[in-house]
Structure 1
Amino acid sequence: MLQNTQAEDIISVKKHTPSIKSTITTTTTSLSATLTYDDELNRLPRKIAKRVVTFQPRSSQLDRETLDSHQYPFRGFFTLFWIAMGFYIIQTGVKNFQSAGILLDLTFFRLFSQDALGLILSDACMVGSMFFAVLLQKAIAHGWIRWRYTGMIIQHIFQITFLFVPIYWTFFKGWPWVQSGFFVLHTISMLMKLHSYSFYNGELSTYVIYLYELKKKYANLIGDSKKNDNEIDEKKEDEKQQILDQLKSKIEQVEGYLHSPAGNIRYPENVTFANYVDFLLVPTLVYELEYPRTEKIRPWYLFEKILATFGTFFLLYVNTETYIIPVLPNVSTSIYNAMVQMLFPFMMNYLLIFYIIFECICNVFAELTCFADRNFYDDWWNSTTWDEFARKWNKPVHHFLLRHVYQSSIESYKLSKRDATFMTFFLSSLIHELVMVVVSKKIRMTSNVRNFIL
């Protein structure tokens, strides 16, 4: 079929990439000419396979519908936990009323509401600056600059600026640990989205050029063979056909890579502001041309998750206000005594924050965007090793590290799987250390980095 439509193939490439021009000289007179990008193209099937299976429709493990429909054996303990939290809050309220005549103090509220408007405006500016990535990718798609290596250098410079300007801003504003922690964590999350979007589309732009070259070479070989039909012997004809078959196979590979798995969108049609806004809203850190979607938004489900968000945050507030703020280390208490008293409250906060982020907030944004893959975590509570826990408790970050750190280290830097695993955990440790520096305003060798050094 390709032999009869070589002219249409070239027109199709020009239609999809009107401004991306090839600068590579090809030899059309030799039937044994080799492909310039064989090394890159030979990795395509493996890359495509890894990215196709990343997302699929599924629900979160602690979702009420999942617990009911699958008769999940953990549902009894899940229900018992919330009953215990109810008793915990009642006991706390009675204790506060008997000792101080109030049900709840507002010390923690005054802490996290400090300079709230400044935090909101700063966060809005940070998110707004991310749209630079769309402008850069549009320039690359129109052929004004190349991704390799001009676009990559510009993107790296922007990412470094994007990370360290907000960090400097937290110190400049002198925010308490709550505001500083939220702002830097949100910045890092958006940085991962920014990186995934830019490098995914940047890589696709290089394959558009490859596709143009492949189709042009295919058409030229067809045209050249027609001119010399009488002069080519049977052996040369077989050699020519073999090369044409190889070209056809590689064209199909690249075409598959440039299309979404469902085939509904093709690069560079996705490089739009609307597509980018959608990516910013979906609860994932890994960019794809297309995600699995639900049919509609369920209002009652959305209301349930929003109500659960505020209800769980209330539990978090009560626990922090009553059992953490009063015993924070100060001149009158030793740090060891404070740590012992805060062990259980901190564990409760960890569970509540996990539930707010991964079960409530992520599901709210997933429902608003009709994002069908709700696998934001696995059964991390059953983990028996640290690496298993790291894979299961935060799937969005795990997916990002898997694709853009682990897989990229193996493909781009030829690291072994062991070295790539080390680099992945080490980078994750550095990010955690950076957050602790911003929150505590001190540089300390926390356990994450110290474990790697020792």
Structure 2
Amino acid sequence: MIRDQDNSHSPAPLVQGQLSAENDGPRRRVPFELRETSCAGQYLITTEDAEMLQEILDIHMEKPGVSSNGRFLFRDLKFTRQLSTFDRQNPTFSSSQFHGFFVLFWLGVVLLLVKVAANNWRIYGTLWGKNEILCLMFHKDVLVLGVTDLVLCWSPTLCLVLQWAVFKGYLRWSRTGWIVQNIWQATYLGVAIWWTYHRDWPWTHTVFIVLHSLTILMKQHSYASYNGYLSELFKKRELLQSRLHRLEGQSPDSSASQDQASTIQETDLQNIADLEQEEHRRLSKPPNLDQELVSLAKTMETGTPLDSLQVQSLTRLLRYEIDLLSDVLKGKCSLTKNYYPRNLTLKDFCDFNTMPTLVYELEYPRTERIDWLYVAEKTAATFGIIVVMIAVSQSWIYPVVMYTVRMKEAGMTVQQRMQEFPWVLSDLLFPFMMEYLLTFYLIWECVLNAVAEITRFADRGFYAAWWNSTSFDQFARDWNRPVHSFLLRHVYHSSISTFQLSRLSASLVTFFLSACVHELIMLCLFRRLRGYLLILQMCQLPLVALSRTRLLRGQRLLGNVIFWLGIFTGPSLLCSLYLII
């Protein structure tokens, strides 16, 4: 029977606790009390919000197959064992009909490097020429740069301390915990950017520190958000367990052993098939529970007391909720016991921070061993590509940049400099396209694969076939998979679940945030805010809409041509705008 909280003449409560309701709206908690009546075997439920308790029953009656995937956050991504597309260990790549073009590309790069070195030797007497780019990289604050990066890598340990404080009950994540975390993240990024300005670093140092600090910032946010959410579920499960044990008249010791046997299933870890079968049994709703929930709901509507059978129905409901919570707290752990809160260790935190992923999980697919020959190969390729990029920049980009600098020093007006804009743009088209492709291969194929091999991270899907993109939204998904996964989970899905945005609105928010971060990088690089990159990125939205119209839908070749025109002209156009204006 549901009634107001007037218990002045009621017996002392037998059970007090909280039930939670999760539907399409925000999560809320329902305080409830279970009291014995004057009639033996009958009970009263009192609550401050009867509609919410009714909503709990509606969830289980309207969705008989409800699972943790549909009700809880952070169940959207799945890591699998896979190799990157251009990895020589990938049998699909080595047997591709286009493998010869890959060989031709790198043969052309080598011959280009030989030609540049020969010209430098003929003109300057050295292989590097005047060597301005290399001098710029090493002439100032190299040691300070290394110490700064070391501090940036270790200072996020504060997130682990914060999560321990949340777990111990000193802070509540849903109240002050997330506020402290966001204040720290803003301070972390602000100090990193301020330090680059304070030291007046060249663009090489600035780009490295800003990009690395943004990477670590995303890792911190993912780690804190996931564990903070699990802390709320953990506290809710503990509360429901304690109330359930009191309702069943169990002793704490016996209930703890039963809970450990039912939720951890440690003995089944040796046999994956048995574990999956047991999980299916635990998370399957009892066959008669739906009918009992209907009986509970009708009793609440009519205002009649609960009898002992209906109390058993409530007990089954609490057990089912506890099993769902236990499944979420275990995450995707199938081979380890790294479920919450056992994951709150310095080892786990450092392990996540060194892995080439921005999305935190309790367990990742891992390789059996480290192939150090593979690591050496990727390391050598990394330094080799850096040499090529320096040579391209020194020979074809640096002279154009210095030409624009001399125009400004000569006092040329904007109108006069704009007359040179087409020539500057055309001079930068091909070297920037070369640098763009080399940057992609350097980061997503060489660096990330080397780090993944060292950390035994088995999911090497850092990119997809972005070169076949027919629209810019497909390119955004395939070009940088780690960042896309972060934005998908912590911006797109979080906007929908937290702020109740539509999918279209959440997509716009995600795209705009990404554009703002890119513009922040340009601000740190050029020391001035112009918004060119922000505008160019937002101009992709009409192109995305155009690709979905009847005119271009299904026109893969035309869509790919439009995409490559944008990629080919975009970087050089952007740099020319910042240099000329």
**Structure 2 length as normaliser, TM-score?**
0.68
The match for 1:271 is: 344
Is the 8 Å Cα contact of residues 44 and 306 (structure 2) preserved in structure 1? no
Which position in structure 1 is the counterpart of 2:327?
Answer: 256
For 2:330, the aligned partner's letter is: H
Q: Does 1:132 align with 2:158?
A: yes
Q: Which moved more, 1:384-393 or 1:34-43?
A: 34-43
Aligned to 1:107: 132
Deviation at 1:344?
0.7
Aligned counterpart for 1:284 among listed residues 357, 360, 363 = 357
Instruction: Tell me how far apart the structure 2 counterparts of residues 170 and 140 of structure 1 sit (CA, whole Å).
Output: 33
Which amino acid is the alignment partner of residue 78 of structure 1?
Answer: F
Instruction: Quote the residue 1:190 is aligned against.
Output: 216
- Give 1:411-426 correspondences, 5 Å limit: 411-426=497-512
Equivalent pair of 2:167/2:231 in contact (CA under 8 Å): yes
Shift of 1:52: 6.7
CA-to-aligned-CA distance 1:364-389 (integer Å, 9 cap, x gap): 11111100000000000000101000
Change (3 A) 1:327 1:248: same
Q: CA deviation at 1:274?
A: 1.0
Inter-partner Cα distance in structure 2 for 1:73 and 1:159 = 47
What percentage of aligned pairs have identical amino acids?
37
Q: Find the residue that maps to 2:75 and give its secondary structure.
A: helix
Name the structure 1 match of 2:381: 308
1:201 paired with 2:227, answer yes
In 2, the alpha carbon distance for the partners of 1:398 and 1:315 equals 28
Q: Which moved more, 1:371-380 or 1:297-306?
A: 297-306
Between 1:172-181 and 1:442-451, the stretch displaced more is 442-451
Residue of structure 2 in register with 1:145 after alignment? 171
Q: Which amino acid aligns with 1:255?
A: S
Secondary structure of the structure 1 residue equivalent to 2:367 = coil
Match among 117, 141, 144 for residue 118 of structure 1? 144
Q: Tell me, in whole angstroms, the C-alpha distance in 2 between the residues paired with 1:234 and 1:40.
A: 22
Matching residue's letter, 2:80: Q
Greater displacement, 126-135 / 335-344: 335-344
**1:27-46 mapped onto 2 (5 Å cutoff):** 27-29=33-35, 30=43, 38=56, 44-46=68-70
Distance of aligned partners of 1:451 and 1:356 in 2 relative to their CA distance in 1, 3 Å threshold: closer
Q: State the AA in 2 paired with 1:301.
A: Y
What secondary structure does 1:27 align onto?
A: strand
Larger deviation, residues 395-404 vs 78-87: 78-87
Cα distance in 1, alignment partners of residues 164 and 126 from structure 2: 58
**More moved, 192-201 vs 140-149:** 140-149
**2:80–2:365 Cα contact (<8 Å) kept:** yes
- Three-state SS of the structure 2 residue aligned to 1:330 is helix
The answer to whether 1:406 aligns with 2:479 is no
Q: State whether residues 32 and 243 of structure 1, in contact with CA within 8 Å, keep that contact through their aligned partners in structure 2.
A: no
1:244/1:369 CA distance change after superposition, 3 Å = same
Q: Distance in 2 between matches of 1:338 and 1:62?
A: 33
Q: Tell me how far 1:223 sits from its aligned partner.
A: 3.5
Instruction: Choose which of 460, 483, 486 in structure 2 pairs with 1:397.
Output: 483
For 1:155, the aligned partner's letter is Q
**How do residues 363-378 of structure 1 correspond to structure 2 at under 5 angstroms?**
363-378=449-464
- Offset, 1:327: 1.7
1:65-76 equivalent positions in 2, closer than 5 A: 65-67=89-91, 71-76=95-100
Q: Residue 378 of structure 2 contacts residue 446 of structure 2 at CA under 8 Å; is this kept in 1?
A: yes
- Whole-angstrom distance in 1 between the partners of 2:180 and 2:305: 52
Matches of 1:384 and 1:214, distance apart in 2 = 51
In structure 2, the partner of 1:7 is none
Deviates further, 443-452 or 45-54: 45-54
> Per-residue deviation at 1:210?
0.9
Unmatched runs of 5 consecutive residues or more in structure 2: 1-28, 36-42, 61-65, 251-303, 408-416, 543-581
Matches within 5 A, 1:336-355: 336-355=422-441
CA distance in 1 between counterparts of 2:447 and 2:355 reads 11
Aligned-pair CA distance for 1:248: 1.9
Moved more, 132-141 or 413-422: 132-141
C-alpha deviation, 1:198, in angstroms: 0.7
Q: Are the equivalent residues in 2 in contact too, given 1:284–1:396 (CA < 8 A)?
A: yes
In structure 1, what residue type is equivalent to 2:222? S
Native 8 Å contact 1:426 1:449 kept in 2? no
In the alignment, what sits opposite 2:570?
A: none
Amino acid at match of 1:330: V
Residue 387 (structure 1) aligned with residue 413 (structure 2): no
Greater Rg over alpha carbons, structure: 2
Q: Which letter does structure 2 place at the counterpart of 1:112?
A: M
Cα separation, partners in 2 of 1:381 and 1:40, compared to 1, 3 Å: farther
Give the letter for the 2:525 counterpart: V
Q: Deviations over 1:253-312 (max 9, x none)?
A: 110111131342211111111111111100000011111100000111111111111111
Which amino acid in the other structure matches residue 110 of structure 1? Answer: C
Displacement after TM superposition at 1:31 (Å): 6.4
Secondary structure of the equivalent of 2:89? helix
Deviation string, structure 1 residues 333-367 (Cα, Å, up to 9, x no partner): 84442322111111111111111111111011111
**What SS is found at the alignment partner of 1:426?**
helix
Moved more, 203-212 or 122-131: 122-131
Letter in 2 for 1:331: R
Q: Does residue 59 in structure 1 map to residue 83 in structure 2?
A: yes
Match of 2:316 among 245, 262, 267: 245
Contact 1:28 1:217 in 2 (8 A): no
Q: Following the alignment from structure 2 to structure 1, what is the Cα–Cα distance between the partners of residues 509 and 310?
A: 45
Distance 1:165 1:61, change over 3 A: same
Measure how far apart 1:47 and its partner are: 5.8
Name the amino acid aligned to 2:312.
Q
CA distance in 1, matches of 2:384, 2:474: 30
How many angstroms apart in 2 are the aligned matches of 1:252 and 1:165? 44
What is the CA RMSD across the aligned residues, in angstroms?
Answer: 2.7
**Which position in structure 2 is the counterpart of 1:441?**
527
Question: 1:52 and 1:327, CA in 2 relative to 1: closer, same or farther beyond 3 A?
Answer: closer
Counterpart CA distance in 2 for 1:89 and 1:161 is 43
| In structure 2, C-alpha distance between the alignment counterparts of 1:206 and 1:301, rounded to whole Å | 42
What residue ranges of structure 1 are gaps of 5+ in the alignment? 1-22, 225-232
Following superposition, the deviation at residue 69 of structure 1 comes to: 6.6
Match of 1:165 in 2: 191
Change (3 A) 1:234 1:196: closer
CA–CA separation in structure 2 for the residues paired with 1:451 and 1:293: 36
* Aligned-partner Cα distance in 2 for 1:419–1:55: 27
SS in 1 for 2:357: coil
Secondary structure at 1:371's aligned position in 2?
coil
Cα distance, 1:393 vs. partner?
0.4
